[in-house]
């Protein structure tokens, strides 16, 4: 390696580290604020060294019942991710392996529904769920989130299934496997990386979603993003408690993404090559 190439690599590495540092600053600041008193949070210059407290977490999750909202978020996210994968992955395999008249038009129409602004559908969703008596229920919000996630699952997983040689399926069919057996025994194991990546994005979409949850949930089914604005009151804004809830919203997704990052990178890169 030449000297100039070595210098270039070092510069790129330094810039990359700097970018990561700048990217993580808001998260570090958020977590630090959640352990500060109100006085420390607003001190100027900002305090880097302080006596951490857990009062914000205790107040918001025990006294203000945000633990219920956290449970609601977990239930909804888990159900939406599971149902979206169970329905979307076989559909994506069908789009990848079978041809029918107008399948491409239908595929792009399905994908187009994912780009529809939620605000456009908010009023129809409200009336539909009210008429079906699903307003303020887990079922209603799970159906709404799943409807938006399925199109994304089909689009992403189809790209991955397209990279799996059709000859593998044909060989299994010659050996006597049904299409269902081919899908379960061959396609799914070969696409586990793509499924992992898709599951992460589905979970993030559902966990962070605000508008549909605001419209379709009630006091007993509200998620963390919906309950969070309740900490801004006429008497003042409880920034330490907001930081505690914000940390609780951000950290689980970061941990989950870190655990499956290897599968995410492999799945996304494999699905991008056709």
Digit-coded pLDDT (tens) for 241-264: 999 999 988 887 777 777 766 665
Q: How confident is the model at residue 173 (pLDDT cuts 50, 70, 90)?
A: confident
Alpha helices (H) along the chain: 3-34, 38-41, 55-58, 66-97, 103-114, 118-131, 138-161, 166-174, 179-182, 188-190, 192-208, 211-216, 224-227, 239-259, 261-271
The rounded mean pLDDT for the chain is 86
Give CA–CA dist 216/251, Å, rounded.
Answer: 25
Average pLDDT score over residue span 156-160 = 87
* Element of type H or E holding 35: none
Give all domains of the chain, ordered by start, each with its CATH number.
59-271 (1.10.3720.10)
Q: How far is residue 116 CA from its own chain's centroid? A: 18
pLDDT of residue 76: 96
pTM attached to this predicted model: 0.84
* Element of type H or E holding 233: strand 232-233
Is pLDDT above 90 for 162?
A: no
Give CA–CA dist 149/143, Å, rounded.
Answer: 10
Q: Which sign, positive or negative, has the C-alpha torsion 182, 185, 188, 192?
A: negative
Is pLDDT above 90 for 87?
A: yes
> 190-239: per-residue pLDDT in tens?
888 888 888 888 998 999 999 999 999 988 899 999 999 888 887 778 88
> 125-156: per-residue pLDDT in tens?
899 999 999 999 999 999 999 988 998 899 88
CA-wise closest residue to 162 among 189, 194, 185: 194
pLDDT of residue 263: 61
pLDDT of residue 273: 47
Q: How far is residue 242 CA from its own chain's centroid? A: 21
What's the residue count for the chain? 274
Give CA–CA dist 26/131, Å, rounded.
Answer: 42
pLDDT of residue 266: 56
Is pLDDT above 90 for 85?
A: yes
Contact 72, 257 (CB under 8 A): no
Average pLDDT score over residue span 37-55 = 83
Please give the DSSP secondary-structure letter assigned to residue 126: H
pLDDT of residue 274: 46
């Amino acid at each position: 390696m030449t000297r100039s190439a070595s210098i270039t690599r070092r510069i790129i590495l330094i810039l990359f580290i700097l970018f990561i540092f700048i990217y993580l600053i808001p998260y570090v600041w958020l977590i630090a604020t959640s352990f500060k008193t109100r006085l420390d949070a607003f001190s100027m210059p900002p305090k880097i060294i302080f006596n951490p407290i857990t009062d914000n977490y205790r107040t918001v999750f025990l006294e203000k019942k945000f633990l219920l909202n956290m449970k609601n978020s977990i239930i909804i996210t888990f159900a939406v991710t599971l149902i979206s994968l169970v329905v979307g992955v076989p559909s994506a395999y069908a789009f990848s392996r079978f041809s029918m008249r107008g399948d491409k038009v239908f595929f792009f129409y399905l994908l187009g529904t994912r780009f529809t602004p939620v605000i456009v559908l908010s009023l129809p969703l409200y009336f539909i769920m009210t008429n079906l008596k699903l307003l303020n229920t887990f079922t209603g919000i799970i159906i709404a989130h799943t409807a938006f996630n399925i199109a994304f699952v089909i689009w992403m997983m189809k790209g991955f299934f397209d990279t799996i040689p059709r000859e593998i399926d044909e060989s299994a069919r010659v050996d006597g496997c049904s299409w269902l057996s081919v899908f379960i025994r061959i396609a799914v194991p070969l696409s586990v990386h793509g499924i992992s990546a898709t599951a992460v994005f589905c979970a993030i979409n559902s966990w962070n979603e605000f508008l549909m949850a605001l419209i379709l949930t009630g006091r007993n089914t509200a998620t963390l993003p919906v309950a969070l604005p309740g900490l801004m009151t006429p008497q003042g804004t409880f920034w330490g408690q907001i930081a505690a809830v914000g940390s609780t919203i951000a950290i689980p997704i970061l941990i989950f993404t870190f655990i499956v990052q290897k599968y995410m990178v492999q799945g996304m890169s494999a699905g991008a090559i056709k």
